[in-house]
Structure 1
Amino acid sequence: MTQKDDTAVAVTADERRVEEVTPVHVPESQALSEPKTAAPSTRGKGQRLAALDGLRFLAAVAVVLFHFTGQTPGTMRQIWGRPFEAIFPDSHGYLAYGRLGVDLFFLISGFVICMSAWGRSPRQFFISRVTRLYPMYWIGVLVSAFVIYTFDTPLGHPNPREVFANLTMLQKPLGVANLDSVYWTLWPELCFYLTFSVVVWMGLTYTRVVVFCGIWTVAAVLAPAAHLPLMTVLVNPTSAPFFIAGMAFYLMYRFRATPLLWGIVLMSWLLAMHFILAPHGGRLDWHTWHPWRGWLVLVITGFFALIAVIALGWTSRIQWRWLSVAGTLTFPLYLLHDVIGVTVVHHFGDRMDPRVLVLSTVAGLILLSYVVHRLVERPVARYMRRWLNSASFGLEAPLPRRR
């Protein structure tokens, strides 16, 4: 698959279980600095945001279906061995919009990361990010490498050096190709964590998050215009509006909606429209995909509306446990689906009905994600968390070993 054609679950990529934040004590001096219009809300206290979990899972399934059935004509022929008109003549055009699921994931990530970091120390924030991302990511890289080097796939056989670079999750700045094309979304997530950790270090408050949103918005606009490559890579202009809007939506959820927060969301929506409708296609390639631009506006606007509904507390009655379980499968499904699924489709695409093959492959991948999450990812993450919590993060030399 071409790198240009893919979209992936971002998410964090990253949070696979949305945790309700317990109220934290705010010092009187700090409380005085908070705007009176942003009094804490009592919505959703003690509840899980199951609706957000379910929405994230639906976005993941949309991306999965896109990779199998909605990619560009050249990639579809490479995977299936024949043009998409002979396989999905009626549904291909609709499923191609599944690539936009990554934008919904960035929106959700801004909301969830801000929520999960509230009241945590920098150390706790670091440990939570590392233990939620790296265990499943390492599993995904190793599984993808095994499939690529063991089976006949349409993905080629990259230099083994790429495997080691990908295990760091820093392949983007290292100038190394992603072992799996879906990994591209992890770099925007890491940059978000890096910059947001500064606010966590200072202590999260309403005012500081709002200021951070404003600074990031300005940087996302000025960095490309000023031809600052390093700054442009760090602020990720095309994805920044979604992260920023997600944080503003969380502030609405934690406190309440204010004109200032709606202004941040509106500005983020406008910038998202600008980047996604850019003449050069932004991260989309108009040479290989020709959607009606109006549908792009409607889909992205729909994403903003869905998160707004959750932020305003209108989904607080939705507490179905199976949605939360589905949410835990999002990251494993994102990391495992592409290489495995494309290889299966490539081998059996001419032996089964394409629709049956796709549906059975997706169902199998969801089951595999559940098994990997329960039997491998959770135990590894638990061990890492215990080890990091007991480790010293200081730069002083450890005590000498007793002889």
Structure 2
Amino acid sequence: MAEIKAPVFPESVADGTIVEWHVSEGQQVNRDDLLAEIETDKVVLEVVAPDNGVVTKIVKQVDDTVLSDELIAEFEAGATASDSAPAAESSEAPAEKAPEQLGYGDLPNRPEAPHAEEKDHKDQSPAVRKAAKESGVDPKNVEGSGRGGRVTKADMANPTLKADSSITTDSGRPVAEATGERSEKRVPMTRLRKRVAERLLSASQDTAMLTTFNEVNMKPLMDLRAKYKDRFEKRHGTRLGFMSLFVKAATEALKRFPAVNASLDGDDIVYHGYYDIGVAVSSDRGLVVPVLRDTDRMTMADVEASIREFGSRAQQGKLGIEDMTGGTFTISNGGVFGSLMSTPILNPPQTAILGMHAINERPMAVDGKVEILPMMYLALSYDHRMIDGKEAVQFLVTIKELIEDPAMLLLDL
């Protein structure tokens, strides 16, 4: 008998919560099959099968808190589901007596057949049962999209109720009809969302945060991209976007203004001799910030490929804690969602964050003439305890100049 344990958490993560079991007791699995998901303050970790075999016992249930390397299930390698199933009754067992042959002491003591509702409950996955508990909506009242009409986790997240108006929730309350009734759904915050909320609140309360704004003409960068994007993709196997130029421009600006690349540790200022830039990525579970390491040594193709990989893994919930640990500066691009202007919040212990926004055509004065140009607002939020206003403004102006004239990066000007 082998043990299935929670992953070893880094020092910054105290514990985690089991959010979903993808298997049940007695189920046969193959090596590397996904068994469970554990949500920590930073990321959702996957627990996979160590070998082919059977999950014989689930020790920790959904919503249970687990510690690093703690036992969560028992596993029998090499076994099959039939090995762990109870032995079937012998076909040579004596036939039951007919009713007229039974005496008073011969009455059979048979368990009653389970009710249909109990069977339906057992057929539901742990994730569906958890969603039902959180929302109060009985899965039997929801239209299922799974095989054979089974209700899935996605169905519970956005339930389509069956037409029967007499159906009720698990708590016995009538379900609101889909046609115009005022309904509510109360769902507990995930650990990741709680942690994000705590960090954002801490950043606003524990730092002297200010924001400076500027605007950048995106036409030179857009012309550069239009001219070379096909050749770039053919040469490097990845598409050319705007983020790589912003990352390289931010890296150059950080070299010129070391205070923006520093962090505060109590009463000490830590100046970092490397450039690790976090790129904020939105996922179904919340905002995550994977980190590009040593951006001064990365090519633009490296940056583009890494960002796309991070985005894909974030949507699949496969970012590791090591991907989001550290970072000396952060870039957040609210423009992909249509944001015109915003005030990004610091990612402590970093002392600055750059906010990119949507590109909109606006009339601009150029050499005494009005031209329609694609413009983007830039925002730099910074901790005024560490960075003076002059440094912050000059840092943002440097990024603006490098973006408006990309040749400056190549010529190191």
Short-chain TM bin = under 0.3
Greater share of residues in helix:
1
Superposition TM-score, scaled by structure 2 size: 0.23
Q: Which has the larger radius of gyration?
A: 2
Superposition TM-score, scaled by structure 1 size: 0.24
Greater RCO (CA < 8 Å, at least 6 residues apart): 1
Greater share of residues in strand:
2
